[in-house]
Amino acid sequence: MLNTLINYIKSFRNRTALQNKIRSIAGIKPVNIDLYKFALTHKSIGRHPSDFPGHNNERLEYLGDAILSAVIADYLFTFYPNYNEGFLTQMRSKLVSRENLNKIALKMGIDKLIMLNKHVIPAQKHIFGNALEAIIGAIYLDKGYRKTRKFIIKKIIRNQPDLDKIAYEERDFKSQIIQWGQKNKQEISFKSHEIIQKDKPQPAFVATIHIMDMLAGEGLGTTKKEAQQHAARQALKNLPS
């Protein structure tokens, strides 16, 4: 009887501590705390250290992945009304990439909460990002879609410091002009050279793009790639619609 009471007190304390941690990282008050236990349980430990043997976060990760993708797709569709499907798809891929989610999970402190066999970390680098997706699944089941959407926008999308930079890079004007040339059987060529700018210690690059040996665009940048992107962007504006 005494052992049962002690175990109950320990369990209660652990549940309260986990509730506080979830509230801290997610900004919500959990109702079904067991969902979050599963979300933070990696399959490497074999059995869940509670009364639910055999449970881990794989099913919740599957659910969270689908919801995360849908919310980000909806957000990008609204936020970038003048961009095509290819741009939106690439932006979404960047935001939901395992590498990006892993960085966000580490920043949120999920690595300090997850239960796992520490020997699996070198072999599986994205464990914490996967756990973040599982937490999204848990929030959805526990609090519903609106709360989950709010969490994703605040903690993942708006917590992305270089969102505008990613958007610019994903426009990939160079690829677009090359694809146009292939489709229309027009030869596309790029030329670039380094220049020295007055009053600036770092060199810059000028790139030009030629379509069938005719100058179609010119661009300046701190790298060859950036200069070529600017040149391709200018060339795309001059193409016949």
Nearest to 220 by CA among 197, 188, 189, 187: 197
> Which one of the listed residues 61, 133, 142, 170 is annotated catalytic?
133
Active site residue 74: no
Handedness of CA 6, 12, 18, 20 (dihedral sign): negative
Active site residue 133: yes
Instruction: Specify the amino acid at residue 190.
Output: F
- Give the whole-angstrom CA distance, residue 174 versus residue 208: 11
- Give the whole-angstrom CA distance, residue 217 versus residue 63: 46
CB crowding 16-53: b at 16 or more within 10 Å, else e: eebeebbeebbeeebeeebbbbbbbbbebeeebeeeee
In Å, how far from its chain's centre is CA 130? 12
Residue 198 in tokens = 């007055």
- Give the whole-angstrom CA distance, residue 194 versus residue 147: 51
- Give the whole-angstrom CA distance, residue 208 versus residue 189: 8
The β-bridge partners of 211 are 188, 214
DSSP track, 166-181: HHHHHH-HHHHHHHHH
> Which one of the listed residues 51, 58, 61, 65 is annotated catalytic?
65
Contact 216, 209 (CB under 8 A): yes
Give catalytic residue positions.
65, 133
